[in-house]
Amino acid sequence: MKHRIVVLGAGYAGAYVAGTLARRLSPADTEITVVNAEPDFVQRLRLHQLAAGQEIAAPQLTDVFAGTAIRLRLARVTAVDPERRAVAVADADGGGELGYDTLLYALGSHGADHGVPGVAEHAFDVAGRPSALRLRERLDSLSNADGGGSVLVVGDGLTGIETATEIAESRPGLSVTLVARGELGAPLATGARRHLRRACERLGITVLEHTAVEAVEATRVLCADGTALASDATVWTAGFAVTPIAAASGLEVTENGRIVVDRTMRSVSHPSVYAAGDSAYAIGDNGRPLPMSCASAGYTGRQATDAIVGRLTGREVADTKLEYVGNHISLGRRDGILQMVDGEGRAKPKYVGGRKAARIKAGIVRMSLWATAHPTFGLPKRRHRLAAAPDASRAEKASA
C-alpha cells in the first residue's frame, strides 16, 4: 500500500508543497491528493486589484499539477479526524472521506469580523476570489450610476491600504474613505508614513484616523464616537482569521485556532500532521510568530516539505529559513512602499517608495505566481524512495 499524503488547500503554501513533494518522492511509494474548494489557483496578493476591476490570472489547478501525478479533489473540507487519520469533505456529489498517512494542513485564512454587528450581512471583503468579484460587481454598479458613490474601507493594515488606493486609482469617479483604528501607517518608518499620506492625498482618499467601527449597516457605518458614515459599499479589511476546523479536530491550536507546530512545521500534538501558511502558528528565526502573509507561506511551505521528505526517506531534516524581512505595499499600479524591518520586527529608518517600489512589488507578485504554477522547476528529477514500508503504522515510526 502506498503512503497517502493529503494536502488541504491549494493556495501559495499548499500548491507549492504538493508539487514539490510530487517531484521529490517516488510515485512507486507515495500517493498525493490535493483537496481544494475551487478549481483554480487564487492570487490572493492581487484580489484587491480584481475587485477594483482589473483582470487577474487564475491558472487551473489541473494545469498547475499537470505531469505530477497529483490527484486533485475539488471539495470543501468539513472536518479532520487526526486520531483516525481521516478528512471529511463535501462536494457536488455529497462528499465523503479521505484517509491519510501524512497530512499537510494549508487551508489559509479568511476575513475576520471580530464580532462587529452587520459585517457578515452588509460588508464586502477581498479575502477570497468570490467575495472580491462580488465587490467588483458592486463597484461596477456604482461607477455606472449618476453621481458615482461612496466606498468606505475599514481597516488600515496592508490589505486596507492596498484596497483603498487601488479602488481610488482605478475608479476615480468614486469617493473613497479609509477608516484607521489608530494612526495611518503606524508600523512604518517616519518617511514611509509621509509617503503614504501623500499617496492618499494624491488619490483623493479621505483618511479617518483613531476611529473605531461598532456596526455596519446597509448604507452606513456606525462609529464608537457616535458618528455615522454614509457608505454605498463598505469593504471590511480589519484582519484575518482561520477556519475552526483545526480547533474542532483536537489538534493543539492557539486561541485563534492556528495549529501549533514545531520548528519543522509538524503539529506538536499529532506527528502525522504538518501545517503551513496562515494555518500554522510558527515561530520565526527572530523568536516571534510569523505573520499571516504570502512570504510566510513560502518559508513554512519549504520547511514542511523538507521535513516530510526527510522523515519519510530517512534523511536528515534541514532547518530552512523562517524570516520576516519586511512589507511590500502597493499604492495603485504606479506607486508603492518597500519597508524593511529589523530582527525585532520594527521598521528600519530607510524605505523605498514610488515607482521603484511598485516595480519591486509587481515583480514579487509575478514571481509568486510563476513559482506556484511551476512547483517542480529546478528540482532534481531523481525521486526518493521511502525508507520504510509506506503504510500508516510504519509512517508513525518514520516521523518519530
Distance, in Å, from the CA atom of 339 to the CA atom of 26, rounded to the nearest integer, reads 42
Give the helix ranges, DSSP H, for 262-323: 294-313
Residue 177 has pLDDT above 90, yes or no: yes
Amino acid 397: pLDDT = 41
Amino acid 318: pLDDT = 87
Residue 392 has pLDDT above 90, yes or no: no
Amino acid 393: pLDDT = 41
When pLDDT is averaged across residues 370-389 and rounded to a whole number, the result is 72
When pLDDT is averaged across residues 91-119 and rounded to a whole number, the result is 94
When pLDDT is averaged across residues 277-289 and rounded to a whole number, the result is 94
* φ and ψ at residue 95, rounded to 5 degrees: 90, -160
For residue 382, name the pLDDT band (cuts at 50, 70, 90): low
Q: Residue 3: helix, strand or coil by DSSP?
A: strand
Kindly report, residue by residue over 131-168, the tens digit of the pLDDT.
Answer: 999 999 999 999 988 778 999 999 999 999 999 999 99
Kindly report, residue by residue over 295-345, the tens digit of the pLDDT.
Answer: 899 999 999 999 999 999 999 998 999 998 889 999 999 999 999 999 888
Kindly report, residue by residue over 46-88, the tens digit of the pLDDT.
Answer: 999 999 999 998 999 999 999 889 999 999 999 999 999 999 9
Tell me the three cell numbers of residue 264.
519543522
Residue 283 has pLDDT above 90, yes or no: yes
When pLDDT is averaged across residues 343-350 and rounded to a whole number, the result is 90
Amino acid 369: pLDDT = 86
CB-based contacts of 9: which residues, under 8 Å, 6+ apart? Answer: 35, 36, 77, 105, 106, 107, 108, 277, 279
Of 40-54, 225-239, 371-385, minimum mean pLDDT range: 371-385
Amino acid 373: pLDDT = 77
For residue 400, name the pLDDT band (cuts at 50, 70, 90): very low
Half-sphere exposure (Cβ direction) of 112: Cα atoms closer than 13 Å: 16
Residue 384 has pLDDT above 50, yes or no: yes
